[in-house]
Amino acid sequence: MFKSIFAGAIAVTALAGTALAADLPRRTAAAAPAPAYKSFNWTGAYAGLNAGYAFGKATKSASSAVGDLDGYSYGATAGYNQQMDNFVVGVEGDIAKTSIDGATSTNSAKITSLGTVRARAGVAVDRALVYGTAGYAGGNNKVTTAAGSSTKWENGYAVGAGLEYAFTNNVSAKAEYLYTHLNDKNYNLTGVTTAGSNTSAIRSGVNYKF
């Protein structure tokens, strides 16, 4: 009889344990950890378009002969960036068609094209890049007086600064200021014997990083 009572107790305990286990909440699989955020990297080649407005003055005898200069520009850009920690260095070139000119009743000077090859260096804060830039500049300058006209390529330099922001992993937009000096050249025209220019440009651009 003792064995029967003992067996019955074991059976009751087993049934109670089964019922209790059924009432316990089921375990769910642990959620996968969120992927770690990866900062944007500026390293790579890029190309794009730029446009802007420039203003300034002609130099030497053209300064009084043609007055102030101003006009618009639009063109293409290409370059390469290398990022090291938060520091970004690179090289950038651009070429633009411009309408930067000045004129009086008898004389005029017009920069018909303008190009630069510049170094860039700056600090990246994730997708934002603040940079400075400096390098070579050159442009085609056409001077016209009552004695005729002459077009010459003038060499010089450009310096500036800007802000670029990457909206996607491939597309970025920038705004920059660029000061450009083109050295004086002899034109030997009545009214304008020597001409160069100093201009300031406010430009915007869109780039695609490959």
- Sign of the C-alpha dihedral computed for residues 171, 172, 173 and 179 taken in this order: negative
E-strand ranges in the chain read 44-59, 68-84, 87-103, 108-125, 128-145, 148-166, 171-189, 192-209
Q: Is the pTM of this model over 0.85?
A: no
Backbone angles phi, psi at 5, to 5 degrees: -65, -40
Fold classification of 44-209 is Porin (2.40.160)
Q: Per-residue confidence of the chain (210 residues) as pLDDT tens digits? A: 444 444 444 444 444 445 444 554 555 655 656 566 678 999 999 999 999 999 999 999 999 899 899 999 999 999 999 999 999 999 999 999 999 999 998 999 999 999 999 999 999 999 999 999 999 999 999 999 999 999 999 999 999 999 999 999 999 999 999 999 999 999 989 889 999 999 999 999 999 999
Domain ranges, ordered by start, for the chain: 44-209
Joined together, the tokens standing for residue 126 give 């994730």
CA within 13 Å, CB half, 202: 3
